[in-house]
Structure 1
Amino acid sequence: MSNDYKKTGGILDWEDARRAAFTQDVLSVITRRPADLLPFEQVREKLHLYNLSYLGLEDVPLDQIVGSVGRYQDFTRAFFPRQDKLQERWQRIDRLISTGTGLPPVELYKVGQAYFVRDGNHRVSVARQHNAPTIQAYVWEYETRVPLEPDTDVDGLLCKAAHAAFLEHTDIDHICPDTPLELTQPDGYEDLLYEIEVMQQSISTIEGRDVPFDEAVKVWCKMHYGLIIEIIRQQGILQNFPGRTEADLYLWLRRHQEELGIRYGRSILLKEATDDLTRRFGEKPTPPRQMKKMIKQLAGSVGELGRQLAKSIAPGTRPQDEDFVAAQLLAPIRSAANATPPYRFRGTTREEWKTWRAEFCEKLWDLLGVGERLYPQYGPAELEPVIEERVQVNDGLWRELVWLTTEEGPRVPAYLFLPEEASSKPLPAIVVFPGHGTIAQTAGLKRSYQRANALELARAGFVTLTMELRGFGRLDAIGHLQLDAAARLVGRTWYGMLVHDGMHAIDYLLTRPEVDPTRIGATGIGSGGALTMYTAALDDRIKVALINSYLSKYVVTSLNEEHCPCNDIPGILRYAEMGDVAALIGPRPVLFVNGQRDSSTSLTARWSFAIVHQVYRLLGVTQRARLIEPAQMGHYFDCQLATGWFRRWLV
């Protein structure tokens, strides 16, 4: 087809095209449909595109052109112009097309069913405004193992990239060509790879020989993945989960099975996990459900939509100005946030891991401002413990209010819970760090999202100690943000001081005859989860950890409107991301719990967990590091999961 498009009776108004660009950007907030072009270089890198062949001159559907080599920020997904600097050239081409003057073909790269503009972005843009169905193009095609569709967005590209890397690593599309395996979330491929590696190790152990990886892939496909997919098909489960693939449901079933296993402390049959998942989370696409979902999306988008609309009608205000200023403001931070940090573990041996861990722990100690590097373990003489009260909570369970000296100046209160069994034998103990709250909440004296976690874990048979945070409860004479600001002036932080308190809390537990010193755990939610992470990273006496509602990325959490600045460790991103810090806990067992309905967490938890998982994989203990994201869980401490996890590793 030629480029002599239908005349429109006049020159297409540039301002109409700019308003159309704005409209698409605003509607994308509501519809969640992609508004941005795909950057070709990123696609080529992530999908490992190498082999290129020339297809010749073709008529290409305009709606399949979804990306650009170098101008992907200048146009929307429908090629509406976003930048005023494009006006002169855009209008010149518009005049030529409107007067019937032909234009040379554009140049495109083809990847799967999607096309990317190599040359001719303005011509494609004007052709779209004239409602032309196709455009003539010289086309070059890249081979790809992962199909790319025209509706793929940037998030979808990440998923395609993870899929391509998984195929390259496992060669599963060649070994098991009849096994459809594609996920809608990129992090899941790491879990599938882990399963195959476990399968390889298991077969090697059983048969007493080194099993090649490709053999393990074949066995996994046939005896594990394939069997579960067959169950999914026979029971018609997928219809209850619209928008998901069979591989998604397989992985969700496996994760749900693991969650139930920890929660109930026993092996869960796959059928049990399947029935429970379908009963609790299955969603049939009925009109009322779809309407409810749309209303929820609209409600969540009102703020952003209103802001964009207000900008569009303000005199002399361009729709992109505020976003441009925001990007400029974040520009000095972006390079550091996007770069691979110096303390990302890159080693391949245990000796390299030991060296990395020792050096990183020293750096983290200084960044937090914990105190003197040569940490002195306190005994009774230094702690000066005073038991203010001792109360029987219920049959055999006692609660003590203890005051401790953790450093020069402050005396810190803590509740110690002692189960009845502690009178006859030493028991495992757990330090329960409060979140933004008080020990009255963790002790069950006040209702809160902490769900009386210190009390409930003691009822489950553990000695528990929960220490008041500086700036809260009995220590609230100065607020925690004021303390943090003052501490930063002398090279310390609020978190650093609390880690210092937590380590001395462990000192106190070691003075108690009711405590087994070789079986100590730590847990908490929110800032309590952060304290668990930092203290476990720096103190090897913590043998097991559970971090509730904290794992994410520093740069992501810092931009959350509900974020508390006490979480921002000065200079941390110059050296590490949160996943790097969490990896210091290895090889000790650690469970991360992030509820999917918890607004304080984000999808970046999987990204950070992948960093943790790599370290545990090197150490040969991948089963000790787990991330669970309960679908119905909000921001509260899950005592049942915590009990199951600590019983697994401390009892």
Structure 2
Amino acid sequence: MKQLRARADFETARIQAFLRDAGSVLRGDTRPLLSFDEVRRAARLEGQSYRGLKDVPIADIRGSVGRPNDFDASFLPVKPQMRKRWEQLDAAMRRGEAVPPIEVYHLGDVYFVKDGHHRVSVARRLRWATIPAKVIEVKTRAPLTGDMNAAALLQAKEYVDFLERSQLDRVRPQASIAVSRLGRYDRIFEDILGHRYFMGLQQYREVAVAEASASWYDNVYKPIADLIREYDILSHFPGRTEADLYLWVTARWLELSRTQKPAGPAEAIADILFETEGTAATAPSPQVLAVLKRWLGPPRRVIELPARLIRRATAPRPGLDGGSPPA
């Protein structure tokens, strides 16, 4: 009887997999299992450690090591040749027989199955909440979340490349620079290079990129990010990040410089604040500027960008000229 039930379970699971795949194609939202190899290449592995035997939430198992095409994103079987092994496990697990723990890699908040794909598939079908697993914790250079689609993996790779060049995570481990669009890490790295250039002029020496990255973070990025948080500017722009607005603020700062208006991070943020409130024609009051400058610190802490970057940043760009933040 249980064998017949196992066969029915397998057929139902395959039909569900087909219907979900068909629906995903029609919606243009195809999301297979995450591939551990692809994620590893994008996010750059830094090390791993064995964390022992744990009960792992099945809902957090979203990836596979070596078999991302054998199951759909919900771990439903997609190939008919998987029937025998799947049905055997289904019958055994329905009888309450003990099955060996699966083996998983844990990256960020996602688990990748190294061994035990069929067990996970059957457990999901039987509505288990957790499953025993031997867990190997993996550290990556770029942070990972459960929503790792192709664009997110590209962004993770861009972040890793940015960290490789800037060494920011080595000199400021607490720094987390997140952007919402591809291509923005290159622009942030240009700011670091500009900062490095003027540090060299001021100090009459060659400045290492890592040293410049630390100084840029302490004296340019973090003060602006603190202001963005203090005045809750992100609440006006859902879906944007502090780094997105940092780029917008620095572009506005340079735009104000070009028009011969008082210019600096505080003035740029004040201009944005007044603009988002619909009062762009009203000049920021000295009191507002004083408060903003108090949070930013004295102007000597900020090193200006070289002229070539000013020309590049003030050239017309979608989303950076006018009243809208980067898209």
Superposition TM-score, scaled by structure 1 size? 0.39
Alignment of 1:496-575 (within 5 A): none
Q: Does the 8 A contact of 1:163 with 1:186 survive in 2? A: no
1:37 aligns with 2:33: yes
- Deviation by residue 1:474-532 (Cα, 9 ceiling, x = unmatched): xxxxxxxxxxxxxxxxxxxxxxxxxxxxxxxxxxxxxxxxxxxxxxxxxxxxxxxxxxx
**Corresponding residue SS for 2:5:** coil
Match in the other structure for 1:87: 83
Contact 2:233/2:273, CA 8 A, preserved across alignment: no
What is the match of residue 159 of structure 2? Answer: 163
The residue number in structure 2 matching 1:110 is: 106
Shift of 1:161: 2.5
8 Å contact 1:113–1:147 — kept in the other structure?
A: no
Residue in structure 2 matching 1:120, options 107, 116, 119? 116
How far residue 270 of structure 1 moved from its aligned partner, in angstroms, is 1.6
User: 1:98 pairs with 94, 101, 111, which one?
Assistant: 94
For 2:30 and 2:239, locate their aligned partners in 1 and report how far apart those are by CA, in whole Å.
Answer: 16
SS at match of 1:247: helix
Give SS of 1:43's match.
helix
How far apart are residue 162 of structure 1 and its match? 2.3
1:10 aligns with 2:8: no
Which residue type is aligned with residue 5 of structure 2?
G
Unaligned runs of 5+ in 1: 1-6, 281-619, 634-651
Higher gyration radius (CA): 1
The SS at the match of 1:136 is strand
- 1:35/1:55 Cα in 2 relative to 1: closer, same or farther (>3 Å)? same
| Kept in 2: contact 1:255–1:628 (CA 8 A) | no
Given that 1:160 and 1:186 are in contact with CA atoms closer than 8 Å, whether structure 2 keeps it comes out as: no
Q: 1:46 aligned to 2:42?
A: yes
The CA deviation at 1:100 is: 2.7
Match of 1:185 in 2: 181
Tell me the residue number matched to 1:77: 73
- Contact 2:106–2:137 (8 Å) recurs in 1: yes
CA distance in structure 1 between the partners assigned to 2:320 and 2:213 by the alignment: 33
User: 2:149 maps to which residue?
Assistant: 153
Aligned to 2:213: 217
Query: Relative to structure 1, is the Cα distance of residues 130 and 278 closer, same or farther in structure 2, using a 3 angstrom cutoff?
Result: farther
Gaps in structure 2 of 5+ consecutive residues: 279-306, 322-327
Distance 1:279 1:31 in 2: 37
Mapped contact 2:32–2:73 kept (Cα < 8 A): yes
Residues 364-391 of structure 1 deviation map (CA, whole Å, 9 limit, x = unaligned): xxxxxxxxxxxxxxxxxxxxxxxxxxxx
Distance in 2 separating the partners of 1:10 and 1:200: 68
Aligned ranges 1:248-267 → 2 under 5 Å = 248-255=244-251
CA contact 2:256–2:268 (8 Å) conserved in 1: no
> Which residue identity does 1:56 align to in structure 2?
G
* Aligned-pair Cα RMSD in Å: 3.5
Structure 2 residue aligned with 1:270, among 257, 262, 268? 268
Q: Which residue of 2 aligns with 1:63?
A: 59
Match of 1:144 in 2: 140
Q: Quick check: 47-56 or 172-181, which moved more?
A: 172-181
1:133 shift after superposition? 1.0
- In structure 2, what is the equivalent of residue 198 of structure 1? 194
Paired-residue identity, %: 35
1:51 counterpart SS class: strand
Q: Given residue 91 of structure 1, which amino acid in structure 2 is its aligned partner? A: E
Query: Which runs of structure 2 are paired with 1:137-536 in the superposition (5 Å)?
Result: 137-255=133-251, 270-271=268-269, 274-275=272-273, 278=276
Contact 2:51 2:137 (8 Å CA) reproduced: yes
Deviation readout 1:131-166 (Å, 9 max, x if unpaired): 111111222222224332333333222222322332
Q: How many residues align?
A: 286
2:321 pairs with 1:630: no
Contact 1:34 1:77 in 2 (8 A): no
In 2, Cα distance between the equivalents of 1:249 and 1:632?
10
- Check 1:93–1:154 CA distance in 2 against 1; reply closer, same or farther (3 A cut): farther
Distance verdict in 2 for CA 1:149–1:32, change over 3 Å:
farther
**Deviation, structure 1 residue 186:** 3.9
1:578-597 to structure 2, matched below 5 A, reads none
Label 1:19 to 1:631 Cα distance change in 2 as closer, same or farther (>3 A).
farther
Alignment partner, residue 473 of structure 1 = none
**2:179, 2:241 within 8 Å by CA — same for their partners in 1?**
yes
Q: Which amino acid aligns with 1:182?
A: A
Write the distance in 2 (CA, Å) between the matches of 1:25 and 1:240: 37
- Deviation of 1:32 after TM superposition, in Å, equals 8.6
Structure possessing the higher relative contact order (Cα contacts under 8 Å, 6 or more residues apart): 2
Contact 1:107 1:138 in 2 (8 A): yes
TM-score (norm 2): 0.73
Aligned partners of 2:173 and 2:275: how far apart in 1? 29
CA deviation after TM superposition for structure 1 residue 622, in Å: 6.4
Distance in 1 separating the partners of 2:272 and 2:77 = 48
Shift of 1:18: 2.8
**Gap change, CA 1:224 and 1:47, over 3 Å in 2:** same
